[in-house]
Structure 1
Amino acid sequence: MFTRERVTNIMYALLSLTFSLILFFNTKSSTFTPGIIAPNRIEETIQSVNIQPIYDTNKYFIQGYEPTVTVRLSSLNRILLSGEVNEETRTFRVVADLSQLEEGTHVVPLKIQNLTSGLDASIEPTNITVTIERLETKTFPVEVNISNTNLAEGYLLAGTKVDPTEVQVTTGHESMLEIAKVVANLDSLEGVNKNLSKEIPIYAVDKDGEILSAILSKEKAVVTLEIKAPQKEVPLIFEQTGTMPQGISHFDIRLSQQTAVLIGSLDLLANYESLTVPIDISNIREKTERSITLSASEGVFVHPQQIMVTISPVPIVVEESSEDEKTSTSSTSAKPQQSSETSTTENIVENTSTTTN
């Protein structure tokens, strides 16, 4: 049988055990609660997010502001965050609402629209300074900006073509007054030594060549350059080749022209003081005309490429010997003498006949 003292001890023991269990589970609960209630947030920073201004595009032109901002996103959901970081699946946009503003320069706050639930975002910077102007459109010719300094040494610019030849420029009223011309700038080219066709960006620029903010109906133009290479006129010198035919003393050779123009780099042209024209005289026994192709070393163009050559053979003259000449003279003298003797005999016969009668 339990005494009062023993019962009291048992009760204290049970109470102690109960409080120990409470403290134990309370401690475990405290340890895991932060991971469930307040987990770590994931952050991402997106550079160069385009600003989308809201304004009447048929009435105004805006300029003077940086077109992109930095956006920082945070979320507990990595999948949602990744979808917004990827530009192709992004739903939010950064806007600058100018719809209630008039012409002039304004400081405009930036806002994020269409942000997915479960994401937090901040923008840097938080506002932009923008100038609003009355919209104007005007047509300008496209000019090609290039000089001989862009060409290889000795080469000249013979001509240029550009397509399109003119473009429409849309900008603000004040900016339009500053436009000096629309150019396709080829200043970056170096050592050009041949004709070329190249697509070049075109810009509206002021009198100092500074690019102005404007919208062009065409952003690029095709520029064609005609390059004139260094030239040198040299004499043509013919050179006989082949085997001299029998009975031919020599050939009288005449060229349709006496000079040709060589076209190429200055270094290559320095190697020429004349141009040799090889002419094959093998088997030529009568007057002949030929078309000869002129050629020079690689990198040198010859004008004209062909010339006409007239080749006239001169035969060897054979002189008769002196003995043959004497024989010929003797034969000629004997024939008249024989004729005279015959005539005398005939006369004697005739006279004898007359006397007899």
Structure 2
Amino acid sequence: MDSWFQSKWFVRAIALVLAVSLYFVVYTEDDKERKDIDFFGNTSETQTMEDIPVSVRIDADKYVVSGIPESVAVTVEGTNSAVTRVVKQRNFDIYVDLTKLGEGEHTVEMQYERFPEDVAVFIEPKTIDIVIEERSTQKFPITVDFINQHQLPEGFEVGDYQVEPKEVMITSSKSVIEKVSIVKVFVNVAGQDEPIKNREVPIKVYDSQGNELRVRMEPENALVSAEINNPSKVVPVTLETTGKLPKGFKLTSMTSDVEEVEIFGTSHALADIDEVKAKVNLSKIKKSDQIQATLDLPKGITAPEHEQIDVSIELEQTKLLEEVPIQVRHLENDRTIEFKKPEGKKVNVTITGNEADVRNVKVDDLRISIDVEGLVDGTHQVKPIIEGPEQLAIKPELDHFTIKIN
């Protein structure tokens, strides 16, 4: 043993072994700290890209395929620089190659191309189940559905409309074509008060259960034009009263300044309307006057030019004037008169006439008298003489007065 240590070659061999061992120990620890730094100093990295579209390679003139996802997730692994370049540029293609397959059900593998050789590529899902069917093309008529008609301005409605084109060419598998039940476009008319001119809307295809079908269409959009109408009709105005007049008043006439009005609404709402009413509340009327009345319009009906109308009211009023003095004509100076009925040489008088004529009449405006010329002493029944405004009916509370002359 001592002779080995004395040999310079033995010592050199031992030193070499120790040096190599030390190198691997240091390299391993340093490698962990640097997180997989490679020979060129690049960090290893993994990134996943979501929603990567999938292309299909198939004889599109002959076949259609179902079961292809719209997008997949692609994970790339490699050096930092290589992965970053792939993620930023995305100059690659994810596809399924069906060119060698015929009709029927198949399980195929997702494929890729144009990735750098120094990155690893993983696609999720890796395989998919697809169905290849013979292509079929058929024409279908396009229907129009006007949505949110309840949000049209009050009284407006959709009138005549046109859609271009009237038909759409749909291409898909025979089985899908057989499921097509409805082909329509939706036109939103909320708040619309003007005609729609060539509005472009997408065409939708549904089965009998209302499920939207994914098919190829030519064209994919249609142009819709539609009239937005505000129908109207002219109807007579009738006046209707509510409430009661105050005591002592009677309605003699009530006329409006318009005999008919033009009303607006949907055709359905207008169909059953033959007249419109204006209501006048009599309980608030105390004199002959011109008032404004609001038209009583059904819901959804408007009359822009006559929201209110003028109504002329004529009232008859009956008014009691108390203790109107009674004058005596042709009573001789040496004789006296005593009133039995009414007592006190005064009488209550009722006047009736147009309220405008009655309202300002006072006791002083009337003259009630009796003529006793030629009457002898004793008790007599005499008829009063009435004087006052000619347009009024004046009636004392008694048709005849009872008097006594002495």
Which category of TM-score, normalised to the shorter sequence, fits these structures? 0.5 to 0.7
> CA separation in 2, counterparts of 1:148 and 1:52?
39
Identity of aligned residues (%): 23
Flag the 1:44–1:185 CA change in 2: closer, same or farther, 3 A.
Answer: same
2:75 alignment partner in structure 1: 72
1:84 alignment partner in structure 2: 86
2:187 corresponds to 1:177: no
> CA separation in 1, counterparts of 2:150 and 2:69?
34
Flag the 1:27–1:181 CA change in 2: closer, same or farther, 3 A.
Answer: closer
Q: What SS does the corresponding residue of 1:269 show, helix, strand or coil?
A: coil
Q: What SS does the corresponding residue of 2:194 show, helix, strand or coil?
A: coil
Flag the 1:150–1:70 CA change in 2: closer, same or farther, 3 A.
Answer: farther
2:213 corresponds to 1:212: yes
Contact 1:150 1:192 in 2 (8 A): no
Flag the 1:21–1:71 CA change in 2: closer, same or farther, 3 A.
Answer: closer
> Deviation of residue 261 (structure 1)?
3.7
Contact 1:235 1:274 in 2 (8 A): no
Q: What SS does the corresponding residue of 2:54 show, helix, strand or coil?
A: strand
2:109 corresponds to 1:109: yes
Larger relative strand fraction: 2
> CA separation in 2, counterparts of 1:208 and 1:150?
25
Q: What SS does the corresponding residue of 2:37 show, helix, strand or coil?
A: helix
Contact 1:151 1:193 in 2 (8 A): no
> CA separation in 2, counterparts of 1:91 and 1:119?
14
Question: For 1:32-54, what per-residue CA distance to the aligned partner results, in whole angstroms no more than 9, with x for missing partners?
Answer: 45634596422221111111122
Gap regions ≥5 residues in structure 2:
238-258, 267-298, 310-406
Q: What SS does the corresponding residue of 2:102 show, helix, strand or coil?
A: coil
> Deviation of residue 274 (structure 1)?
6.7
Contact 1:150 1:191 in 2 (8 A): no
2:126 alignment partner in structure 1: 126
Contact 1:146 1:185 in 2 (8 A): yes
Contact 2:147 2:186 in 1 (8 A): no
Flag the 1:226–1:112 CA change in 2: closer, same or farther, 3 A.
Answer: same
The match for 2:53 among 36, 50, 55 is 50
Question: For 1:79-104, what per-residue CA distance to the aligned partner results, in whole angstroms no more than 9, with x for missing partners?
Answer: x3233223xx3232111122232222
Contact 1:91 1:116 in 2 (8 A): no
Structure 2 counterparts to residues 1-357 of structure 1, below 5 A: 22=19, 28-32=26-30, 35-37=37-39, 40-78=43-81, 80-86=82-88, 89-146=89-146, 149-152=149-152, 153-186=154-187, 190-197=190-197, 198-229=199-230, 231=232, 233=234, 261=262, 263=264, 269=302, 273=306
> Deviation of residue 68 (structure 1)?
0.9
1:338 alignment partner in structure 2: none
> Deviation of residue 203 (structure 1)?
2.0
Contact 1:39 1:76 in 2 (8 A): yes
> Deviation of residue 73 (structure 1)?
1.2
Contact 2:67 2:128 in 1 (8 A): no
Question: For 1:226-273, what per-residue CA distance to the aligned partner results, in whole angstroms no more than 9, with x for missing partners?
Answer: 22225353679xxxxxxxxxxxxxxxxxxxxx8664558977926654
1:352 alignment partner in structure 2: none
> CA separation in 1, counterparts of 2:210 and 2:25?
74
> CA separation in 2, counterparts of 1:49 and 1:124?
10
> CA separation in 2, counterparts of 1:30 and 1:94?
38
Deviates more, 1:31-40 or 1:162-171: 31-40
Query: What is the count of residue pairs matched by the alignment?
Result: 246
Contact 1:92 1:116 in 2 (8 A): no
> CA separation in 1, counterparts of 2:157 and 2:60?
46
* Alignment-mate amino acid for residue 138 of structure 1: Q
Contact 2:106 2:130 in 1 (8 A): yes
Larger relative helix fraction: 1
* Alignment-mate amino acid for residue 302 of structure 2: L
> Deviation of residue 154 (structure 1)?
3.6
Flag the 1:264–1:30 CA change in 2: closer, same or farther, 3 A.
Answer: same
> Deviation of residue 201 (structure 1)?
0.9
* Alignment-mate amino acid for residue 176 of structure 1: I
